[in-house]
Structure 1
């Protein structure tokens, strides 16, 4: 069985989104925080499309929960860090 998170401290404090603000439940940073990003890359290392799909679902939830935040800002936050994402 593969560990869900590659870092020991990440296993103790899951770095998952907390709605409606989409802050990290583990550290309080804007989600996905750096630890969540690393854990997601590890978890989806054999399924990059699955990672994009998962983050896209979270983005849609964030767009609904935070209608006052610019959609482009949320899209950049949720998807802009992925390997192969275009830099603007």
Structure 2
């Protein structure tokens, strides 16, 4: 009997792929997600944004918010659309924050 290799899913709190050890989502995970959410890009982006928020909370200051956003969300946007801007973590000029 063949032993199944683990899926390309994140290992938390490091957010590395359990299968290949690359930063998640790795290439294989991206392909799987695109297949899984084929025809519903909005649902894919909502799912990725949720994971981005969880990773941001777990990774803390080890990664910039923009870098994590690019890693988790911006790769999945529809081609030809403008990239979404990530809110800054710095407070606004009036001190209210982003």
TM-score bracket, normalised by the shorter chain, equals 0.7 to 0.9
Partner of 2:49: 56
TM-score normalised by L of structure 1 = 0.79
Local SS of the residue matching 1:66: helix
Greater Cα shift, 45-54 or 77-86: 77-86
Shift of 1:25: 0.9
The RMSD of aligned alpha carbons is: 1.6
Instruction: State how many pairs are aligned.
Output: 77
Q: Which runs of 4+ in 1 moved over 6 A?
A: none
Structure with larger Rg: 2
Gaps of at least 5 residues in structure 1 are 1-10
Find the aligned partners of 1:86 and 1:23 in 2 and give their Cα distance.
28
Point out which structure has higher relative CO (alpha carbons under 8 A, 6+ apart): 1
TM-score normalised by L of structure 2 = 0.71
Shift of 1:86: 4.0
Partner of 1:79: 73
